Structure 1
């Protein structure tokens, strides 16, 4: 049996055992003793640990598949045949080779005219070089691994200037009309949401010895490190950014999601409040809606039952699919607030209405002199991005009592 499937089944059985234990240990007043609570929490921790192990194995399996792909056989020349795709500009093999040669070589030194000419197609106005198209897609894939928002949101690319997005502010209605009566006017009203670009950057330092080592995969290192740093900062802004020098987060006081439910407690959540949040979202949005919350909030939700006595959190048995709450997918993020007074602890809605706008072209610059005394070379990586919730009613949040 597949190891991942075996662990998923084991996780499901462990969860059923934990639920059964909790049900049998509840007193007539619905309270579980401290000793039994400790036992249950250990059982629940095993479920969480199995989930994390499944995630690790799935990522390892994906990496193994990538590394097990057959290598190209030696070729004496570049194969050319009719209909073969030819790439130009920043996607061309010529530009990619010149780009990474420039990253490994001191600026202006060791670059022959052919390489310099090839880099002209990607010269940035501030002195850097635009990342090759193929490598740019690698960065986006790496960001997806770090950032759940890019999986759920609507990601677009903009070339320059603000992107104006038309939004219907209010809709017209029909009316009952008497015979020969005039038909009243009822127009839709339209507004606009503007998405710009905020600059996000990071610096990476590499020793000259490591940089000159042909075994060192510079492309892979920069892609992963850039993804980790940018992904973390992006996710933070997409959740709680205030729109000042950064994107407007989904939990922002102004421009963020609407409050669907205010919990009666500052430190707990009830099943009725989760159901109220679920139905506070209009039915058309619920079709594609997902739950997003912190791991600590998931732990509190696991103990809740619906009106039929069924636990509302259910583990996934199929690889690549998330766990569910009320039959809707649930995702976790470290940047979602934990349960606390006034915290917006649960987000539920169609994240396709949150738009992430990437300004086309990420830029790398090589810094030769800044760290020369320590035998290091710096790389500055920047990108411009913005994010906004286009339609606030498409996402609702549960806010804890103040």
Structure 2
């Protein structure tokens, strides 16, 4: 049996056992003794640990598939003939090879005129080279793995620094009309949301020995490392950014999601409040809505039951599918605050109404002299990106009492 499927079944059984134990140990007052509470928390910790192991194995399996791909593409197609479509510009094989030759070679050294001419296609105004199309796609795929937000939000690419998105602010209505009466005007009103481009960058240092070693997979290393750094910083801004020098996050006071429910307590969440949050979102948005919260909040939600004695949180039994709350997918992010006074602890809504705008390609530079004394070469990657919630009513948040 597949190891991941085996662990999922084991996790589901452990969760059922934990629920059954909790039900049998409740006193007539509905409370659980400290000894039984400690036992239950140990059982719950085992469920959490199994979930994390499943995540690790799934990532490991994905990485194994990536690394097991052949290094060279076999010649299975027919030879090119005149008129056959070929890749051009930054998507061409010529540009890709020239790009990585330039990255491995000290600026201006060892580059023949043909390589230099090829690189002219992607010369950036700031002195770097635009990332080849193939590399850029690899980077975006890696970002998807590191950053849950890009999987949930709508991602667009814009060629200009500012893009205005028309939004219907209010809709017109129909009205009953008397015989021969005039039809009343009732127009829709329109507004605009402007998406700009904020600069996000990071730098990696690589030793000259590794750089000159043709065996070292420079492309794969840089893809993964940039994905980890950029993906983490992006997700933080998409949740908590204030719009000053960075995107406007979902939890921002201005421009963020609407507060659907304010809890009665500063340090607790009840099942009624989760249900109120669920139904505070209009039905059309609930069809594609997801829950996002901190791991610590998930732990608190796990103990809540509905009126039929069913737990709100249900574990996933199928690989690649998330756990659920009220039959809606549940995702976790470290950038959603944990339970505390005034904190916005649960986000629920249709994330496709949060737009992430990538401004053209990512730019790559090589720094030769800065770390020459230590035998290292620096690589700088920058991208311009913005994000905004286009329709605030599409996402609701639960906020703790002050």
Q: Which residue of 1 aligns with 2:207?
A: 207
Q: Which residue of 1 aligns with 2:20?
A: 20
Q: Which residue of 2 aligns with 1:38?
A: 38
Residues 78 and 363 (structure 1 numbering): CA distance in 2 closer, same or farther, change over 3 Å? Answer: farther
Shift of 1:82: 7.8
Alpha-carbon separation, structure 2, partners of 1:71 and 1:211: 19
Alpha-carbon separation, structure 2, partners of 1:71 and 1:370: 33
Residues 238 and 376 (structure 1 numbering): CA distance in 2 closer, same or farther, change over 3 Å? Answer: same
SS in 2 for 1:362: strand
Q: Which residue of 1 aligns with 2:370?
A: 370
State the number of aligned residues: 401
Q: Which residue of 2 aligns with 1:181?
A: 181
Alpha-carbon separation, structure 1, partners of 2:104 and 2:249: 38
Q: Which residue of 2 aligns with 1:249?
A: 249
Alpha-carbon separation, structure 2, partners of 1:227 and 1:326: 32
SS in 2 for 1:173: coil
Q: Which residue of 1 aligns with 2:226?
A: 226
Residues 43 and 350 (structure 1 numbering): CA distance in 2 closer, same or farther, change over 3 Å? Answer: same
Q: How does 1:2-401 map to 2 (within 5 A)?
A: 2-70=2-70, 72=72, 79-80=79-80, 86-401=86-401
- Assess if the C-alpha contact under 8 Å between 2:161 and 2:359 holds in 1: no
After superposition, the C-alpha distances for 1:40-89 in whole angstroms (9 at most, x for unaligned) are 111111111111111111122222233334554777x9943588652111
SS in 2 for 1:90: helix
Shift of 1:348: 0.1
Alpha-carbon separation, structure 2, partners of 1:73 and 1:150: 30
- Assess if the C-alpha contact under 8 Å between 2:341 and 2:401 holds in 1: yes
Residues 374 and 78 (structure 1 numbering): CA distance in 2 closer, same or farther, change over 3 Å? Answer: farther
Higher mean C-alpha deviation, range 22-31 or range 289-298: 22-31
Residue ranges of structure 2 left out of the alignment (5+ in a row) = none
Root mean square deviation, CA, Å? 1.5
Shift of 1:214: 1.1
- Assess if the C-alpha contact under 8 Å between 2:250 and 2:389 holds in 1: yes
Residues 202 and 68 (structure 1 numbering): CA distance in 2 closer, same or farther, change over 3 Å? Answer: closer
After superposition, the C-alpha distances for 1:134-162 in whole angstroms (9 at most, x for unaligned) are 00000001111111000000000001131
Shift of 1:34: 1.0
SS in 1 for 2:110: coil
Alpha-carbon separation, structure 2, partners of 1:213 and 1:361: 28
SS in 1 for 2:361: coil
Shift of 1:384: 0.2
Alpha-carbon separation, structure 2, partners of 1:298 and 1:284: 25
Alpha-carbon separation, structure 2, partners of 1:85 and 1:294: 49
Alpha-carbon separation, structure 1, partners of 2:373 and 2:56: 40
Shift of 1:26: 1.1
Alpha-carbon separation, structure 2, partners of 1:70 and 1:386: 36
Shift of 1:375: 1.1
SS in 2 for 1:360: strand
SS in 2 for 1:387: strand
Residues 330 and 37 (structure 1 numbering): CA distance in 2 closer, same or farther, change over 3 Å? Answer: same
Alpha-carbon separation, structure 1, partners of 2:7 and 2:85: 43
TM-score by length of 1: 0.97
After superposition, the C-alpha distances for 1:95-148 in whole angstroms (9 at most, x for unaligned) are 000000000111111111000000000000111000000000000011111110
Higher mean C-alpha deviation, range 253-262 or range 23-32: 23-32
After superposition, the C-alpha distances for 1:205-248 in whole angstroms (9 at most, x for unaligned) are 11111111111111111111111110111011000000000000
Q: Where has structure 1 moved over 4 Å in runs of 4 or more?
A: 70-75, 81-85
SS in 2 for 1:87: coil
